[in-house]
Amino acid sequence: LIMDLMDKLTHVFRQGLSDSFYPVPQQAIGVGSAFEGWSPHAQDLVYRVLVPLSPPPGHAFHVELDTAGMLQRNFGVRVELLCTCTREQLGEDMLCFLHHPEEELRRRRDPSLLHTLCTDACLDVKKTVHWFHRFVRVAWLLLPESRHWCLTSQPSSHFCKFQLSKDKESLAVEIVLGVRQGDSDVFVGSQPAEAAVPSTTWLETYAVAEAKFFRHISRQAPQDSWHCKCLQLLARFLTGVGFSSYALKTVAMHLLNTVPPTQWRRRDFRQRLVDILKYLQYSLETKQLHHFVLGNASFPTEISLPSGFRAAEPPNLFQHLASSPDAHAKAMQEYIHLL
């Protein structure tokens, strides 16, 4: 239902923005635990989708590394104007932003993306999310589902949050906007940063690559595979104080990449739970848990990553435990509680 609605919204977007110079939304991609099959809390299920944005005609996106932090790399999306004189010569009704007089452009064309959603020639996260959020509310009224479902928006500056409700049924949706790095499955996204950063900062997100990894495993696994149930069960008991469900997911992905899919059947459930817990215990004791996508030389080659990604130095997800004895002690207490 969610993906069908996103496809319809994207279609309305493309029709409504066909003559403008706003980013062009592409087909949404389901990411996160709900789409990967291990969401721990059915009653608080959030369907998270990533909507890739492509540049409009006469524009180009350049994804540029800004700062490389401990766990998350910051990027800027620089917007460049392209010459479209050739397209005009071929009979297309398009004035070139670079070579036509400004007065004629103002009279005959909508403003370029640089003058609408950019700050200092870079795509602005907050402006882009606000624009997308506003358009979704308008586009929703054009869909037949709007006669049966109620759409309630929840304000957020870095992604679009909506609640869909009908009778006693309710669905929570989060839409993250992203720009693809080259032709890979790694994006820079509009998620909120950990600290105060400029609104032109986009954070690297591996959500699409991780979702593809779970699909990759599911294709290889037998029908009675319980790999998602293992992760779901353990995540359900996490309180999230000392370590996050993402850390647990990272441990599970490392094991899924090394333990053959045939050894995750129902009969192996107890042993795989023990394996995950032992891996987590060792990671907590050594205060080191390598990122699964960035810097993983054994990441499946069928999932496209940016050049040099597999050979990079993997970030340590438990770096904060190495620098804070109190945090480490708390995490160990959480692990004992989980046991």
Cβ(336)–Cβ(237) below 8 Å: no
Measured CA distances, 327 to 69, 209, 249, 289, 335 (Å): 19, 30, 20, 15, 12
Sign of the torsion formed by the C-alpha atoms of 123, 127, 133 and 136: negative
Domains defined along the chain, listed by start: 1-205 (3.30.460.90), 221-337 (1.10.1410.40)
Share of residues in the chain with pLDDT > 90 (%)? 68
**Residue closest to 186 by CA, chosen among 166, 206, 171:** 206
pLDDT of residue 102: 65
Q: Compute the mean pLDDT over every residue in the chain, rounded to the nearest whole number.
A: 89
Cβ neighbours of residue 205 under 8 Å, at least 6 residues apart? 50, 176, 178, 186, 187, 188, 189, 191
Tell me how far apart the alpha carbons of residues 136 and 42 are, in angstroms, rounded to a whole number: 26
Model confidence over 236-287: pLDDT tens digits? 887 555 678 899 999 999 999 999 999 999 999 999 999 999 999 999 999 9
pLDDT confidence of residue 40: 83
Evaluated on CA atoms 164, 191, 293, 290, the torsion sign reads negative
Listed in sequence order, the residues at least 6 apart from 42 whose beta carbon sits closer than 8 Å to its beta carbon are none
Q: pLDDT at position 277, please?
A: 94
Work out the average pLDDT over 301-317: 94
Q: What is the pLDDT of residue 100?
A: 60
Question: Which residue has tokens 């524009």?
Answer: 59
| Nearest one of 209, 201, 204 to 157, comparing CA atoms | 201
Provide the pLDDT for residue 296.
96
What residue has token string 């008991």? 237
Q: What is the pLDDT of residue 69?
A: 62
pLDDT in tens, 52-107: 999 998 899 999 998 766 567 899 999 998 887 765 544 555 677 765 656 655 65
pLDDT number for residue 68: 66
Q: Tell me, what's the pLDDT at 42?
A: 67
pLDDT band at 45 (very low <50, low <70, confident <90, very high): confident
**Is pLDDT of 21 > 60?**
yes
pLDDT per residue over 160-211, tens digit each? 999 999 988 899 999 999 999 999 999 999 987 666 788 999 999 999 999 9
Cross-strand partners of 79? 61
Within its chain, how far is the Cα of 209 from the centroid?
Answer: 9
In sequence order, what E strands does the chain have? 24-25, 29-31, 46-54, 59-68, 73-81, 118-119, 122-123, 150-154, 160-166, 169-180, 187-189, 202-205
Question: Going by DSSP bridges, is the β-strand pair 73-81/202-205 parallel, antiparallel, or unpaired?
Answer: antiparallel
**Other C-beta atoms lying within 10 Å of the C-beta of residue 328:** 18
Q: Pairing mode, if any, of strands 73-81 and 59-68?
A: antiparallel
d(CA 41, CA 32): 13
Backbone angles phi, psi at 152, to 5 degrees: -115, 125
